[in-house]
Each structure stands twice: as structure tokens, then as C-alpha cells.
């Protein structure tokens, strides 16, 4: 079952205490974030843990809002919002990234500028603290769009980008998840025996700025127990990430293989461009296409007029939104 956030948001953290949904009008800025469709089983989420997630999402929104409210570009806003989540061990990106089947970490990230259709993507990084900033640098300082591990890390070194030891990414929780997923695999159990939280995660942000420019950014550790070298949808333009001023900006989370096969992010843009669908209709249609293929996950999207979509077909999706009135909304479940 698809869940639309407009029906689901119940908690507003704005000062006025107003609850619910705010649609933006033309020429206003806005930012939407997700922290992955791998939400913890609701019954297992303690109030303390829930508060931690909500605070982390709020910090991410604040970082992006700060940029947009002073008239900064959407590219800066999505990068800032994603960096906060990369640095936060609660999310599967940067610190807190999931483990590969070899017990290592490999990170993918992508950023796209809706105004120029320029993009930067880095895959299978092993030692970059903030992959999203490396993707941005690649977009701006290189003729190339995508670099893999060795090339990307050499490029990072040339530009003085901060690198860290693999140990930096370690969290006990992700290690335990690897053990559970590997145990399920040994027993030949279906993937779906494993919880969403153990399988999924990724962080992403989409924004429209005061000039009407759109941007999208996605960063991930990928899927728990992935083979080393496996690349998901997050760094693939048109699959997990896409931005085009003519239509929308999208960031996805979920079973990457299915989002790639569905060319999910670009399909949303294409449905808007060629069929005249709203961002909400197009997003629903594409997530349904992913589901029919057998994929689970979610996505966030925004258009230049502030239309939003926040959809998922999992238990929940860590997510949040802020508009130019400074109304912050965060939520996890339906």
C-alpha cells in the first residue's frame, strides 16, 4: 500500500504548534529530506530513540533551511542537509553506513543541479567522510560525471578532501544487522524475513530555492550484505537521483536494483514533462511501478512551484520538510 505523507504527517515542530501539511505557493522555497525507507519496526522504537531520529532530521532540515532562507542556492541546501545526515550515525550514509558481505563499507553519492542538468556521482568510496561533497566537487571541478572508488579517492586527495579510516563508519547496530542478514541468507530465508531497518537506508534531500532552481542529493552505504563493488540506484542519474528545473527534483531510497530497472527518478520527471502529471501523481505512479517489479522503498520529490511528494511502501520512512515560513515537519511512520 502506498502512503502519502499528506495523510500521514501528524507532528509539526514549528513554534506555532500548527499541525499538518502546508503547500507552498509559487516562487517560494522549500526543502524535503529523507533518512531512508528502512525505518525501525514501530514496536521496537523506544521514545528516546524516536526523539533522536526526529532531532537528527530536524538538524538536517535546519542546515538546508539556513541556506535557502538567506537566498542561497538549492545545491548548497541539499548538500548541507545531506552532510548532517552523513555525519549522524543513525543513518545509512557516511558514519553509520551498512556493511558489505566482506564486513567493509562502500559508499555511493550523487548530486544534480536542475538548472544546468549537471551532475556528480561517486561510487564505492572507502574512506571519504562526506561523499556528497565529493560528488559536488566532481560536478564542479571535473569534466567527468562519475568516478569509482580509486579514481574518486585520488580526485579527493588532489582537492584536499577529508578522508577517514574505515573504522570511522562503524556502528554496532549495523554490524549486528549484517550478522542477522547473513544468518538469514545462510538459512536460505527470503529477503523479506529481514526487517526493513536491517536492509534499507539512504539519505537524500531535494530543494527549490528562491530563484526557482531545483537540486537533488542522495548518499548511501547501500544495502546490508551487498557484494563489494555492488552499486545501487543512489548514484545513478535518473534512477535514485534526478533534478530538472522543467519538472522536479527526486531522491529515492529502497531496493536499488528495482529503482534502476524502473529508471524511477527520471520517470517521474518524464511523466510530468510528457504527460502533464503533477509531481504527486507522477511519483505515485512510479513507486507503484517499482512495487510491481518487486521493489520496496520510498522517494521524495519537489517541483518548482513547491508541489511535494513523500511516498513509501515500507513500514516507514524517516522524513521531513520545511517551507519558507520556517514550518518544520518531521515524521517516521504512516
* Contact pattern for ligand ASP over residues 29 through 48, marking x by CB under 6 A: -------x-x----------
Size of the site for ligand ASP (CB under 6 A): 15
What gap in Å lies between CA 230 and CA 57, rounded to an integer?
A: 28
Contact between 105 and 126 under an 8 Å Cβ cutoff? The reply is yes
DSSP state of 236: S
Contact between 289 and 281 under an 8 Å Cβ cutoff? The reply is no
Sheet hosting strand 3-4, strand order edge to edge: 3-4, 308-312, 297-303, 248-254, 241-243
Least spacing, CB of residue 256 vs ligand ASP, in Å: 2
Nearer to ligand ASP, 81 or 223 (CB): 223
Which member of 10, 104, 171, 202 is catalytic? 202
Nearer to ligand ASP, 64 or 295 (CB): 295
Least spacing, CB of residue 238 vs ligand ASP, in Å: 14
For CA atoms 11, 5, 38, 145, the dihedral sign is negative
Least spacing, CB of residue 141 vs ligand ASP, in Å: 25
In 10 A of CB 91, how many CB atoms? 29
What gap in Å lies between CA 222 and CA 232, rounded to an integer?
A: 6
Nearer to ligand ASP, 65 or 91 (CB): 91
What gap in Å lies between CA 210 and CA 242, rounded to an integer?
A: 19
133 binds ligand ASP (CB under 6 A): no
Residue 323 phi, psi (nearest 5): -110, -175
In 10 A of CB 273, how many CB atoms? 15
What are the cell numbers at 75? 545545491
Is 202 one of the catalytic residues? yes
Nearer to ligand ASP, 64 or 222 (CB): 222
**Binds ligand ASP (CB under 6 A): choice among 219, 244, 253, 315:** 253
Cα–Cα distance list, 320 to 56, 92, 229, 242, 257 (Å): 10, 16, 31, 19, 25
Nearer to ligand ASP, 114 or 256 (CB): 256
Half-sphere exposure of 5 (CA within 13 A, CB side): 31
In 10 A of CB 157, how many CB atoms? 12
Site for ligand ASP in 192-251 (CB under 6 A): 200-202, 220, 222-223, 232-234, 240
Least spacing, CB of residue 64 vs ligand ASP, in Å: 19
Nearer to ligand ASP, 124 or 324 (CB): 124
**Binds ligand ASP (CB under 6 A): choice among 94, 120, 238, 256:** 256
What are the cell numbers at 11? 507532528
Least spacing, CB of residue 104 vs ligand ASP, in Å: 15
Nearer to ligand ASP, 227 or 275 (CB): 227
Site for ligand ASP in 63-102 (CB under 6 A): none
Least spacing, CB of residue 154 vs ligand ASP, in Å: 23
Least spacing, CB of residue 325 vs ligand ASP, in Å: 30
Cα–Cα distance list, 159 to 82, 141, 152, 153, 165 (Å): 20, 9, 11, 10, 18
Catalytically active residues are: 202
Q: Give the binding site for ligand ASP (CB under 6 A).
A: 36, 38, 200-202, 220, 222-223, 232-234, 240, 253-254, 256
Amino acid at each position: 500500500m502506498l502512503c502519502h505523507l499528506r495523510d500521514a504527517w501528524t507532528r509539526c515542530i514549528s513554534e506555532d504548534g500548527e499541525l499538518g501539511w502546508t503547500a507552498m505557493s509559487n516562487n517560494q522555497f522549500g526543502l524535503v529530506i529523507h533518512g531512508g525507507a528502512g525505518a525501525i519496526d514501530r514496536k521496537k522504537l523506544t521514545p528516546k530513540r524516536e526523539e533522536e531520529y526526529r532531532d537528527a532530521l530536524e538538524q538536517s532540515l535546519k542546515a538546508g533551511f539556513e541556506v535557502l532562507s538567506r537566498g542561497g542556492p538549492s545545491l548548497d541546501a541539499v548538500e548541507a542537509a545531506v552532510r548532517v545526515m552523513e555525519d549522524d550515525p543513525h543513518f545509512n550514509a557516511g558514519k553509520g553506513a551498512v556493511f558489505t558481505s566482506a564486513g567493509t563499507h562502500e559508499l555511493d553519492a550523487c548530486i544534480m543541479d536542475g538548472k544546468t542538468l549537471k551532475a556528480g556521482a561517486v561510487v564505492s568510496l572507502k574512506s571519504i567522510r562526506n561523499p556528497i561533497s565529493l560528488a559536488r566537487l566532481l560536478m564542479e571541478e571535473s569534466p567527468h560525471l562519475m568516478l569509482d572508488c580509486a579514481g574518486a579517492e585520488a580526485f579527493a586527495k588532489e582537492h584536499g578532501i577529508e578522508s577517514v579510516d574505515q573504522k570511522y563508519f562503524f556502528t554496532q547496530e549495523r554490524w549486528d544487522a549484517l550478522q542477522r542478514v547473513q544468518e538469514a541468507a545462510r538459512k536460505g530465508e527470503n529477503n523479506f524475513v529481514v526487517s526493513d531497518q536491517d536492509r534499507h537506508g539512504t539519505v537524500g534531500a531535494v530543494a527549490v530555492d528562491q530563484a526557482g532552481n531545483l537540486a537533488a542529493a542522495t548518499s548511501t552505504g547501500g544495502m546490508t550484505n551487498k557484494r563489494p563493488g555492488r552499486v545501487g540506484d543512489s548514484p545513478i542519474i535518473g534512477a535514485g537521483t534526478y533534478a530538472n528545473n522543467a519538472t522536479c527534483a527526486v531522491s529515492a531510497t529502497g531496493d536499488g536494483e528495482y529503482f534502476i530497472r524502473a529508471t524511477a527518478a527520471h520517470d517521474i520527471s518524464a511523466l510530468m514533462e510528457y504527460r502533464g502529471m503533477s509531481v504527486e501523481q507522477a511519483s505515485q505512479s512510479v513507486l507503484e511501478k517499482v512495487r510491481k517489479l518487486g521493489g520496496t522503498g520510498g522517494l521524495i520529490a519537489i517541483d518548482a512551484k513547491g508541489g511535494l511528494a513523500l511516498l513509501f511502501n515500507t513500514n516507514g520512512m524517516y522524513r521531513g520538510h520545511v517551507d519558507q515560513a520556517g514550518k518544520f515537519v518531521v515524521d517516521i511512520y504512516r
